[in-house]
Each structure stands twice: as C-alpha cells, then as structure tokens.
Amino acid sequence: MRTRILTASAVLSGLLIFGCSSNSTPAPVASSQSSTVNTTVSDPAACQAPNGQFAHVYVTITDVEASTNGDAQAGDSSFVDLTPSLKSGSPKQVDLLGQANNNCFLASLGSTQEIPAGDYQQIRIMLAPDSAASSVQNNACGTYANCVVLSDGSMHDLALSSEAQTGLKIPSGQIASGGLNVGNGKTEDLDIDFNTCSSIVEEGNGKFRLKPVLHAGEVSTTSSSINGTIVSSNGKPIAGGTVIVAAEQTDASGVDRIVMSTTADPSTGGFVFCPLPAGTYDIVAVGVDGAGVAYSAGVETGVQPGDAAGNIPLVASSMQATITGQITSQESAMQAIAADVDVSVLQQAGSSGPMVTIPLLSSENPTSGVYATAAGSNCAAATDCVSYTLKVPGVWPNVGAYASSGSQFTQSAAASVDDTLDMRAASPTTGNTDCTPSEIKVSTLASTTAGVSGGPLTVAAGETTTAATASFVGCQ
C-alpha cells in the first residue's frame, strides 16, 4: 500500500523509477520565472482490515521540502518549502488507509506555493514527534502524533527514529529520471509514493516503528492510471478471500520491485492504480479464496498508464507453500547489533520473463515483510537474529504480455518451483544500508551437514521449505 504526495507545478523529464545517482552540486536556479506547487496525499490500501493487520495508519505531516543538492543535510539552505502552511503551525494528520475520493487523493497538504526552477535532487517529508501531539487538531492518536490502529481496534504508537528531525528522505536514486527537473513557469504533477504497509516494522516487544519506503515520479492528469480485473482460470472473480495486486518496475539489478500495491474488489475482482508515473509496469497478483484455496501468481507484463490490463487469471493450486528461515546480524565477530531486514520473495515469470516480486498476502503473512533482528536465546554467538515464516504460491506464475486485443497467459509445466528470497538490511536508527553485504539473495536450502551446501530453494503447495540462514555482518 502506497501513499503519494502529489505536487503540482514541477516539470520532470525521463520517468524511470530507480534513476540516476545524486548530483552533489546544486543546479542553476532561474530567476526570471518560477513554478507553483500544490501538495496532496493519495493512497490505495493493501494491508487494511478485515484481511489485513491494520484498520488505520495515522501520520502527522509538518512540512515537505525539496533541494537541488542531492547531498544536502537537513536544514541546508538549498531546501525550498513546498508546504509553508504546515510548517507555520498547522500540521496535517492523514489516515494512510483512509478512503480516497474519485480523484485518487486523501487530503490536501497545503495551498499553491511557488518554487524556483531547478534540478531538484532530493525531497524530505517531516513528521511530528509525540511531544507535539497536543498541537494536532482532532488528533485521532490521542497522546501520540503518529499511530497504528489494529484490526481489533487497539491503538499503538508508531515510533519514529530521526524522521521528525531530518525528514523522510527521497534521494535522486528513488526519483524518476534521477531528479525533478523544474522548468520556468511550468505546471506538472509530481507523485511521491509512500509504501505504507512495507514501511511499518513490528518489533518483538509488540511495538511498531516507521521504516520509510519512498519513490517519486511525474503523473499525468489525463492518463495516470492502470485498471484491470483479477479472475480465476474459469474467468470468474476469486470469491470471499484476499487478492493483492502490485505494479512493479525493473531496477538496476534486473529485479521487478513493487512500486504500488492495492487489493482487488472482493466481488468483482477489479483493481485500479491511480495515479502512476509514466513508464512501463508489470502487474503481479496473488490470492486466496474464502475457502482457503490458494492460487498461482498472475503476471501481465508491459502495461502502461492509460492501458486497461483486462482479465489477469490466477490458477488454483490448493494450498500455499511455506518458507521458513533465520536472519542474523552483527557489528563484528564479537558484537551483536540489530538490523531491519526487508524480505521479498522472487519468482521467474516464464522462461525469459522478468524476476518478479511476489506480493505477500497480509492474511497469510502476519508481518509487513520487514523483520527486525533482536537478541534471543536461539541466536548464534555474537549475533542478533529473527526467524521468519512466509506463505507463498507453490506453483509457477501464470504469465502474459499486455496486448490491447487481449493478453494470452501460459503457466510453466516444470515440476520444480524455485524461489529466491531477496533480503536488504538497514540500520533501525539511521536507515543506512551499511551491513556487509547490504543485500543477500537466498536461493538455497539450509545445509543439513556442516560445510555441505543445500539444494535449490524449491517450494511446493502444502509443503514447508527451510532456507539457508542469511547472515549480515559489519552493521553499524
């Protein structure tokens, strides 16, 4: 589930997510004209009750800033204020799982604001700390400024690390085209995408912490959506259960990463992504019906905003497969240290198709996919650790390429279904990816004998597979 802050009046060129590296030198700023900025919030929901863990996720936004300097630290003079009304003492509390209107938006964050033209290399979103809770009008979180409400109605603080002081940073590598190229007197729409459900870490002590996952890109007001319908192989909607749909794009490593996710309508199977930056997307869906019957992933490749994806069929496979394993983290050979580890399940979409990320069904997987290592009696010496259990499809995906006349889908008949777990570690306090390595791809079983490698990470419906331990070292 993603939250987007829509900024009108910024011009961008080249719209590929995961763009170029940041530019440390501020771009020239034109003085003859400026652009105007209007900022709003929008979001489809993918982890919402009753099938998901959360009924509400409230955040209180105090400001949004942009800088032409990709290396600028918080408070640098290169930052321009996109939402001065928030900064002046009128913060906006937004329910990220709230009901959007027909224009895709949840709330407006401020009135139109002029900014200088230039090449903006980073954006920062400021959130209020709990100490400012009393200044939030109609505060739904009570004594908290940011909180989650679970499906059972209980409220919990959503803890921040440095976000209130330094802001949620979107660097150029997470901005389409590597930066926001704002031209003189131009008016465009910029979408900042906040993957809410993947940004919430449930810690072992029952507390919740925000670990932001953000992207940005320009959207068109006339053709910024993709819609379609998820069906079973008989052409009918998957009744009574949960279907998660993701819009994905390929990163520099060749892996399809989730840009946005939502749930399909339980009665019709329909879904819509709105708004989306221009570009080409692969649509990936997974589901389980009301009787507990699990389905393959369905993948439609090569879809662009403005396209109707049509029917994407999922194939029944009776039961989900289960993957279990452990993650460890340490600062040195003698010192344990905690880390946040984002775990994604990857499958090959056809013999020559992309390596796609399989969305995690929130009803089958109790966590968001972000695991926090911590001290425990079952950890290896001098490590913090966490164990995980993932429910995933036990069959190959059903894959088709987009065609305006209707896509044709096929499913691999290969006997073994091999998955890969992609794990990316970061500091829980700074967000820095400073472990060695910062990313591990687990594609083997745990060894059964010391020093002997296991086989491939093969999964099957109704069976449990134990993956090799992922060990992150040198974390700070």
Q: Which residues pair with 421 in a beta bridge?
A: 345, 442
pLDDT over threshold 90, residue 139: yes
As a whole number, mean pLDDT of residues 441-464 equals 82
Q: Is the pTM of this model over 0.85?
A: no
Separation between Cα atoms, residue 325 and residue 247, nearest integer Å: 27
Per the prediction, the chain carries an average pLDDT of 82
pLDDT for position 322: 93
pLDDT tens digit string along 146-167?
A: 999 998 999 999 998 766 678 8
Residue with tokens 């802001």: 167
Sign of CA dihedral 150, 101, 60, 340: positive
Residue with tokens 């997974």: 286
Separation between Cα atoms, residue 379 and residue 385, nearest integer Å: 5
Q: Report the SS3 class of residue 126.
A: strand
Higher pLDDT, 350 or 399: 399
Structural element, H or E, at residue 355: strand 355-358
Return the CATH architecture of domain 320-395+414-472. Sandwich (2.60)
Task: Examine domains 226-317 and 320-395+414-472 and report if their fold is the same.
Answer: yes
pLDDT over threshold 70, residue 188: no
pLDDT over threshold 50, residue 1: no
pLDDT for position 356: 97
CATH superfamily entry for domain 226-317: Carboxypeptidase-like, regulatory domain (2.60.40.1120)
Domain ranges of the chain: 2-219, 226-317, 320-395+414-472
Q: Which of 50, 38, 52 is nearest to 5 (CA)?
A: 38
pLDDT for position 20: 28
Cβ atoms of residues 279 and 217 within 8 Å: yes
Secondary structure (DSSP) of 286-348: EEE-TT--EE--EEEEEE-TT-EEEEEEE-EEES-EEEEEEEEEEEETTEE---EEEEEEEEE
As a whole number, mean pLDDT of residues 201-213 equals 81
Q: Which of 474, 363, 360, 346 is nearest to 421 (CA)?
A: 346
Cβ atoms of residues 268 and 235 within 8 Å: no
Q: Which residues pair with 255 in a beta bridge?
A: 355
Q: Beta 458-459 vs 355-358: how paired, if at all?
A: unpaired
pLDDT over threshold 80, residue 69: yes
Q: How confident is the model at residue 224 (pLDDT cuts 50, 70, 90)?
A: confident
Higher pLDDT, 193 or 68: 68
Residue 195, number of CB atoms within 10 A of its CB = 22
Higher pLDDT, 370 or 26: 370
pLDDT over threshold 80, residue 432: no
As a whole number, mean pLDDT of residues 19-34 equals 40
pLDDT for position 375: 93
Separation between Cα atoms, residue 161 and residue 167, nearest integer Å: 10
